[in-house]
Structure 1
Amino acid sequence: MTQRQVVGVGLRSPHITQVLEQKPDIGWLEIHSENYFTTTSTARQQLRQIAEHYPISCHGIGLSLGSADPLDRQHLSQLKQLVDEIDPIAVSDHLSWSSVDGQFFNDLLPLPYTEEALEHFCHKVEQVQDYLGRQMLIENPSSYLSFASSAIPEWEFLHQVQQRTGCGLLLDLNNIYVSAFNHGFDCDQYIAALDASAVKEIHLAGFTVKQFEDGEIWIDTHSKPVSEPVWQLYRRWVQQHGRTPTLIEWDLDIPPLSVLLGEADKARNIIMQEAQDGQILTP
Structure 2
Amino acid sequence: MTPSDLPAGVGVGFKSRHFADILTTRPTLAFLEVHAENLMGAGGPVHAQLGRLAQDYALSIHGVGLNIGAPQPLDRTHLSRIRHVCERYQAASFSEHLAWSSHGENYFADLLPLPYTQATLDGVCDHIDAVQEALGRQMLLENPSTYVDFEGSTIEETAFLGEIVRRTGCGLLLDINNVFVSSVNHDRSARDYLATFPLHAVREIHLGGHHEDALSDGTPLLIDSHSAAVADPVWQLYADVVAASGPVPTLIEWDNDVPEWAVLYADVRRAQALAARIAVMSPNAARETTHDA
Alignment match, 1:236: 240
Deviation digits for residues 145-167 of structure 1, max 9, x if unmatched?
12111111111111111111110
- The aligned amino acid for 1:166 is G
Q: Is the 8 A contact 2:172 2:201 kept in 1?
A: yes
- Structure 1: how far apart are the matches of 2:90 and 2:205? 20
Preserved CA contact (<8 Å) 2:8 2:248: no
- Count of residue correspondences: 276
Residue among 255, 273, 283 paired with 2:277: 273
TM-score, normalised to structure 2, is 0.90
Q: Does 1:217 align with 2:221?
A: yes
Provide the C-alpha distance between the structure 2 equivalents of 1:216 and 1:181, rounded to a whole number of angstroms: 7
Query: What are the Cα deviations for residues 216-265 of structure 1, in whole angstroms up to 9, with x where unaligned?
Result: 31111111111111111111111111100001000111001111111011
Counterpart of 2:257 in 1: which secondary structure? Answer: coil
Q: Report the CA distance between 1:18 and its aligned residue.
A: 2.9
- Contact 1:174/1:206 (<8 A) preserved: yes
Report matched runs for 1:73-112 at 5 Å. 73-112=76-115
Check whether the contact 1:210–1:216 (CA below 8 A) recurs between aligned residues: yes
Q: Give the deviation of 1:69 after TM superposition.
A: 2.2
1:140 and 2:152 equivalent?
A: no
What SS is found at the alignment partner of 1:71? coil
Identity of aligned pairs, percent?
42
1:46-86 deviation digits (Å, cap 9, x = unpaired): 21111111111001101011112221111111100111121
Partner of 2:122: 119
Q: Distance in 1 between matches of 2:154 and 2:187?
A: 16
**What does residue 188 of structure 2 align with?**
185
Unmatched 5+ residue regions in structure 2? Answer: 1-6, 284-293
- 1:69 is aligned to 72
Match of 1:43 among 43, 46, 51: 46
Pairing 1:142-161 to 2, within 5 Å after superposition: 142-161=145-164
Q: Distance in 2 between matches of 1:138 and 1:74?
A: 20
Q: Residues 184 and 220 of structure 2 are in contact (CA less than 8 Å); yes or no, is this contact kept in structure 1?
A: no
User: Following TM superposition, by how much is the alpha carbon of 1:8 offset from its aligned partner in structure 2, in angstroms?
Assistant: 0.7
1:186 Cα offset (Å)? 2.1
Partner residue, 1:34: 37
Unaligned runs of 5+ residues in structure 1 are: none
Instruction: Report matched runs for 1:1-40 at 5 Å.
Output: 6-40=9-43
Preserved CA contact (<8 Å) 2:63 2:96: yes
- In the alignment, which residue of structure 1 is the partner of 2:251? 247
Distance 2:273 2:21 in 1: 24
Which residue of 1 is the match for residue 172 of structure 2? 169
Q: Distance in 1 between matches of 2:179 and 2:8?
A: 25
What is the TM-score when the length of structure 1 is the normalising length? 0.93
Compared with structure 1, are the counterparts of its residues 5 and 256 closer, same or farther at alpha carbon in structure 2 (3 Å cutoff)? farther
Q: CA deviation at 1:40?
A: 2.2
Secondary structure at the residue paired with 2:234? helix
Taking only aligned residues, the RMSD between alpha carbons, in angstroms, comes to 1.5
